Amino acid sequence: MAAAKVGVGEDEYTLLCSEFKSAQDDFIAQIEKVKSKIEQVNCKDGGFYAENLTPNVEKLLTTIDTIKGAIEQVQSSENETIDSFQRAIDNVDTCC
């Protein structure tokens, strides 16, 4: 319903929402891939393990987790804003 009220067809609105969610999920997945690759080389057997390097790599991994958490919070807020906007449009229509 809200899609038509903002001048977009329902199918197009559904597709846009789906693509937005997919882009969010892909972004988080890419962060996880990078983190995983860093973890793979940060090991004793076959990696780039070194006494002085490991603490810095651990700090990097912790920072990546912090960034990922912040991104997930922003994405959650974006989704809540979209849902709230849609409800507001529905409520305006109901009130009128």
Q: What is the pLDDT of residue 11?
A: 84
pLDDT at 27 over 80: yes
- Give the per-residue pLDDT at 66: 93
Q: What is the pTM of this model?
A: 0.61
pLDDT on residue 60: 87
In the structure encoding, which two tokens stand for residue 82, read together? 């979209």
Q: Which residues contact 3 (CB under 8 A, 6 or more apart)?
A: 9, 10, 12, 13, 14
In this prediction, residue 73 has a pLDDT band, given cuts at 50, 70 and 90, of very high
Mean pLDDT rounded to a whole number for the chain: 80
Q: Enter the tokens of residue 45.
A: 């057997």
User: Which of 7-11, 29-33, 57-61 shows the highest mean pLDDT?
Assistant: 29-33
